[in-house]
Chains A and B, each alone.
Chain A
Amino acid sequence: MLKTLKRKAGSLALATTLGLGLATNASAVELTMYYPVAVGGSLTNIVDGLVDDFEAQNPDIKVNAIYAGNYNDARIKALAALKSGEPAQTSVMFSIDTYELIEQGAIVAFDDIVETKEEKEWLKSFYPALMENGQTQGKTWGIPFQRSTIVMYYNKDAFRAAGLDPETPPATWDELVAAGKKLTKDGQWGTMIPSTGYPYWMFGALSMQNGQVLMNSDGNETYFDAPATIETLEFWKDLGSKHGIMPEGTIEWGTLRQNFLEGKTAMMWHSTGNLSVVKKNAKFDFGVAMLPAQKRRGTPTGGGNFYIFEKTTAEERKATMKLIRFLTEPKRTAEWSMKTGYLATMPAAYETEEMKQYVADFPPAAVARDQLEFATAELSTYQNGRVRKLLDDAIQAALTGSKTPTEALSGAQKQADRLLKRYR
């Protein structure tokens, strides 16, 4: 925000000193883009750098990239700006906001903007799993940009100390429990799966592994009380209460990484977005693995997509497409992934020389990519905020023992049905 202000002030001063001599390109298109930062760090600098490169290549397009807080803030700001008539053309927002944005009439489908055959091909160049959350009603509404999945981080030194092979991390639920029991000792837990912040996200991984999705692709039905869903929550709870390899109660998202770095847990499930921080701060030998399987492997995707707003002129849409195409070029996507730890969103990016080299030097970066094959959409429905909270509350109620998994989930399903009935 401040940076943009500064830049604006700078260009204003420049224009004044040159006596409006620069005002010749009055026909230039000006774009405003909001983007969120969820994991923090130097992301703003990287985005600013990319935007500067774009402006240098396209002198007739000016881009104001505005940092808009976390995902929630970005959505609120973008919607408020639209309501007040302030022109924003594009924004990176939570990939699961699609239904909400459609319901608000805020966004246009990319299918209605792309013209040439080449552009239509471009829509197909991304990993299908990353497109899922942005597709409904047979159209594509969001283009993947800063995307992540869940992976399992594990402490190889702890594995060695417990007599486990550090190169074969648990690949099934049973192996997870068995390894967890060996790893759990005084002052060290076997594993931790965070259950605050985004419990529905972790649950999406577990239920997928148990062969159960949580919602349909129209976003108007949930499967919270399906037998496999209930079984999933029972397993999560059992990790603490029956197998004793995870603390009981809820596990804090915000401090989990610290727990892992201090060796208080031998394994943790966390976003790939943590990769660079763990790499920098781990004082022990660590590994990154795909999440284990029950009936199959599985993880939801997460993170942000590009959206184009409805209130835009044809000219602005064209310029916006140029910007998005620029930012998702394989080479730039690879660079973005290497600098941030987010996924590269298309196979072509992993084929670039730089990325190949990077993955060869740092194999954990490939785990998230390979896992994409098993990835699925993250929980997203109409009335998303409410439905998500119903599931979050149910999970926490079960983990803290105030309700049984069956009670908690059938209650959540009943309320979700009430909310979603009018969208069927």
Chain B
Amino acid sequence: MKHVSTKHQLYGWLLLLPAALFLLAFTYYPTLATLAKSFFSQGTAIRPSEFVGLENYTFMLEDDVFWRVAWNNVIYALFTIPISIALALMMAIWVNSRLKYKSLARMSFFLPTMLPMIAVANIWLFFYSPEIGLIDQVTAVFGVESHNWLGDPDTVLGCIIVITIWKEAGFFMIFYLAALQTLSPELEEAARLEGASRWYYFRRIMFPLLMPTTLFVLINAIINSFKLVDHLFILTKGGPDNASSLLLYYIYEVAFSFLDQAYASTLTVILLAVLAIIAIGQFVFLDKKVHYQ
């Protein structure tokens, strides 16, 4: 009997092995290597790398650019996450109703998601462009003076946020749409018979039932707010004067433009720590509030 169970166990482990190997090689090993690297100096042919303890971390605390991009990232997250989720929910409810050109509406909402971010950035670059851009040409009709949207530190981050919301909302809408279609229509009929208003039905029935989807979308939105930097490469390269730079973009610059892997590892450790804390918080605290069917 015992013999069989070890065999079973072995079988199970063998089945897990391929996935586990990939996880080890591409997730856990790089994470640990990054952590280790952050305690060493950047080596070159002339100056070999050496253990420097927390020096990279103290450098980070004194690095003005780091604080700037961290703050930018907080603002970026605070705006993109709630707005794109709220928009997604509204769009999903709308295209889930009895609409004449339902599939056309669904497709047009989903279209931004299908476009590659680099292409999107190139399109928006010309929207925002002063004088020749779409936005300026439209506002010029109303006599508004041309504005240098991406060249002004006060507006550039807002421009980036708008693109991200435009790109993400359609993607999240698909999840809400799928969730909405699993809601039983009897609930709505019953609510209507009882005389509940539409807002009451949404607040007390529909939204709570969508909570699992909201949690999923929320996690995705948070990850994306740290992960989605493709458009920066085309639109602003983090400028002017780092006004639109985000943490991950800065990590890229440090690693591949400054060739400073050690400091890039340090920044990466911080990014990982922030994401880990958020993820734990979500799963531990929010999960209790989510009603699963």
Query: B242–A100 contact, CB under 8 A?
Result: no
Partner of B132 from A196, A251, A259 at Cβ < 8 Å: A259
Query: B259–A251 contact, CB under 8 A?
Result: no
- B133 proximity list for chain A (CB < 8 A): 255
Partner of A196 from B146, B237, B257 at Cβ < 8 Å: B237
From B125, B150, B234, residue with most partner A Cβ within 10 Å:
B150
A103 within 8 Å of B by Cβ? Answer: yes
A252 and B129 contact, Cβ closer than 8 Å, known pairs A103-B46, A400-B241: yes
Query: A397–B240 contact, CB under 8 A?
Result: yes
**A25-33, A134-142, A218-226, A385-393 - interface stretch:** A385-393
A161 within 8 Å of B by Cβ? Answer: no
Please give the number of chain B residues whose Cβ is less than 8 angstroms from any Cβ of chain A in the complex.
31
Cβ contacts B232-268/A at 8 Å (1 or 0 each): 0010110111110000000001001111100000000
Cβ contacts B90-134/A at 8 Å (1 or 0 each): 000000000000000000000000000000000001100111110
**CB proximity of B39 to chain A, nearest CB, Å:** 20
B152 within 8 Å of A by Cβ? Answer: yes
Partner of B234 from A248, A250, A254, A402 at Cβ < 8 Å: A254
B72 within 8 Å of A by Cβ? Answer: no
Query: A396–B257 contact, CB under 8 A?
Result: no
**CB proximity of A345 to chain B, nearest CB, Å:** 26
A197 within 8 Å of B by Cβ? Answer: yes
From A187, A196, A251, residue with most partner B Cβ within 10 Å:
A196
A262 within 8 Å of B by Cβ? Answer: yes
**CB proximity of A343 to chain B, nearest CB, Å:** 26
- A104 proximity list for chain B (CB < 8 A): 44-45, 259
Query: A72–B151 contact, CB under 8 A?
Result: no
Within the assembled complex, what's the spacing in Å between the Cα atoms of A295 and B9?
Answer: 82
A252 and B150 contact, Cβ closer than 8 Å, known pairs A397-B240, A400-B241: yes
A383 and B239 contact, Cβ closer than 8 Å, known pairs A104-B44, A264-B131: no
Query: A196–B240 contact, CB under 8 A?
Result: yes
Query: A76–B152 contact, CB under 8 A?
Result: no
Partner of B125 from A79, A103, A255 at Cβ < 8 Å: A255
Interface residues of B in 153-191 (CB under 8 A from A): 153
Within the assembled complex, what's the spacing in Å between the Cα atoms of A22 and B43?
Answer: 45
Within the assembled complex, what's the spacing in Å between the Cα atoms of A393 and B257?
Answer: 15
Within the assembled complex, what's the spacing in Å between the Cα atoms of A157 and B131?
Answer: 20
Within the assembled complex, what's the spacing in Å between the Cα atoms of A396 and B65?
Answer: 14
Cβ contacts A245-272/B at 8 Å (1 or 0 each): 0011111101100110010100000000
From A249, A389, A394, A396, residue with most partner B Cβ within 10 Å:
A249
A399 within 8 Å of B by Cβ? Answer: yes
Partner of B45 from A105, A196, A249 at Cβ < 8 Å: A105
B224 within 8 Å of A by Cβ? Answer: no
From B44, B131, B242, B256, residue with most partner A Cβ within 10 Å:
B131
Interface residues of A in 196-226 (CB under 8 A from B): 196-197
**CB proximity of B246 to chain A, nearest CB, Å:** 15
Query: B132–A385 contact, CB under 8 A?
Result: no
B148 within 8 Å of A by Cβ? Answer: yes
Partner of A385 from B240, B243, B258 at Cβ < 8 Å: B258
Query: B126–A105 contact, CB under 8 A?
Result: no
- A259 proximity list for chain B (CB < 8 A): 129, 131-132
Chain B residue, CB-CB nearest to A249: B151
- A393 proximity list for chain B (CB < 8 A): 65, 239, 241-242
Query: A249–B152 contact, CB under 8 A?
Result: yes
- A254 proximity list for chain B (CB < 8 A): 125, 234
- B256 proximity list for chain A (CB < 8 A): 72, 76
5 A-B pairs closest in CB distance: A105-B45, A249-B151, A396-B240, A250-B151, A385-B257
Q: A105-B46, A196-B151, A393-B241 are in contact. List 19 more A-B contacts (CB 8 A).
A: A103-B44, A103-B45, A103-B46, A104-B259, A105-B44, A196-B236, A196-B240, A248-B148, A249-B240, A250-B239, A250-B240, A252-B129, A254-B234, A258-B126, A258-B132, A259-B131, A385-B253, A397-B240, A400-B240
Can you list 21 A-B pairs with a CB-CB distance of less than 8 A?
A: A79-B259, A103-B46, A105-B46, A195-B151, A195-B240, A250-B148, A250-B150, A250-B151, A250-B239, A250-B240, A252-B129, A255-B133, A258-B126, A385-B257, A385-B258, A386-B260, A392-B239, A393-B239, A393-B241, A396-B239, A400-B153
